[in-house]
Amino acid sequence: MGNEERTFAQLVEAFLAIYAEGEAPPLPVVVKFIPAGGELPEGATDPADHPGIPWCKAVRLACEEGEAVTVTVDNVGCPAAAIALGLVNQFSESALAGRREYTDLMDEAAAPADFTRGLVYACQGIGFPQFAIFREADAGRYETLGAALKAVAGMKAIQPPIMKAAIAYRAEAMDVAPDVVILPLKPKQAMLAIEGYTYPTGKRVTLDTVGVRGVCSDLTAIPFLSQELNGSLFCVGARALGGWAGSLMALGMPLYVFRQMVNGMEKSATGYPYAAFPE
């Protein structure tokens, strides 16, 4: 069966089979965007089932527990993710109401505009300590407002907001073609995936990441908007709130890139003796 003829579930099966016995990576996660005015597909969970959930945590639950987690403006737990996923206007001055796992850590909930203006990320240095998530001990993500604004400018986002929902799920949870595929991997596993991706062309891979918005921007918005492979080492939210293990990083890509990657991994398997590589 040719690579282009395989279903996504079959591609996932082939991807996992390439790795040495007992060393298969965590299961890939699918992302499906539902544009404003669209309907949630069969199998998607009710957003009310996951109140205030950060997108990074939603992706991990999909990976580890097999849930099809639906995130909308009503239950997204992090304004940064709401911006990146196209659920809210990045210049909105209104804080997201109700339970929100990220901004609940602050003395005062920051609005999306506070993230966009860099106030959250440079909170201590510029006089906005109410936005610190680790209280007095929190130095913020960047030392100055200029550094924060430079970082924010590179955090790709689906703007203006055009999405009703983003759904994270595994291949078996819903029979819906993915917009983005996220592969949680150990560095050694990521190496093999990238080697397969580059096998046909020799094209180098540049990971566009800054240590903030690791899942929502690096692994979801960037691959969706660029239609290219990207990777991330995750971020403070993904580790502390999302629960991603310290041994993992991740790659994000549109479906056609995942097809190319699996095909290249299969063709190049004998050129890369994965089982012989040390941990």
The predicted-structure confidence for 92-130, as pLDDT tens digits, reads as follows 999 999 999 999 999 999 999 999 999 999 999 999 999
Across the range 176-199, mean pLDDT stands at 95
Q: Pick the residue with more confidence: 57 or 137?
A: 57
> Cα Rg for the chain, rounded, in angstroms?
19
The residue ranking higher by pLDDT, 212 or 3, is: 212
- Write down the pLDDT at residue 1: 45
CA-nearest of 69, 28, 57, 44 to 170 is 28
- What digits encode the pLDDT tens for the residues 198-238? 999 999 999 999 999 999 999 999 999 999 999 999 999 99
Beta strand residue intervals within 78-149, DSSP E: none
pLDDT band at 277 (very low <50, low <70, confident <90, very high): confident
pLDDT band at 174 (very low <50, low <70, confident <90, very high): confident
> Within 13 Å of residue 190, how many CA atoms lie on the same side as its CB?
20
Nearest to 158 by CA among 175, 136, 140, 180: 180
Residue 3 has pLDDT above 70, yes or no: no
Of residues 44, 36, 59, 66, the one with CA closest to residue 172: 66
On the question of pLDDT at 2 being above 80, the answer is no
pLDDT number for residue 171:
87
Look at residue 167 and give its three-state secondary structure: strand
CB 145 within 8 A of CB 127: no
Q: Could you give the count of Cα atoms lying within 13 Å of 171 in the half-sphere of its Cβ?
A: 18
3-class SS at 38? coil
pTM above 0.75, yes or no: yes
Rounded to an integer, the average pLDDT of 73-79 is 98
- Listed range (18-27, 65-74, 81-90, 141-150) with the worst mean pLDDT: 18-27
| 5, HSE (Cβ side, Cα atoms, 13 Å) | 2
- The encoded tokens of residue 11 equal 């591609």
Can you tell me the distance from the alpha carbon of 38 to that of 58, in angstroms, rounded to the nearest whole number? 21
Cis omega (within 30 of 0) for bond into 161: no
At residue 4, does pLDDT exceed 70? no
CB under 8 Å to 202, separation ≥6 — which residues? none
CB contact at 8 A, 29 and 167: no
Selected residue with higher pLDDT from 210 and 174: 210
CA distance 105 to 133: 5
Give the pLDDT confidence score for residue 32 in this predicted structure.
97
φ, ψ for residue 86 (rounded to 5)?
75, 30
pLDDT score at 173: 85
Distance, in Å, from the CA atom of 124 to the CA atom of 139, rounded to the nearest integer, reads: 6
**Mean pLDDT for the stretch of residues 16-38:** 93
> Average pLDDT of the chain?
94
What pLDDT is stored for residue 135 in this prediction? 86
- 71/45 Cα distance (integer angstroms): 9
Cβ atoms of residues 45 and 66 within 8 Å:
no
Q: What is the mean pLDDT of residues 18-28?
A: 89
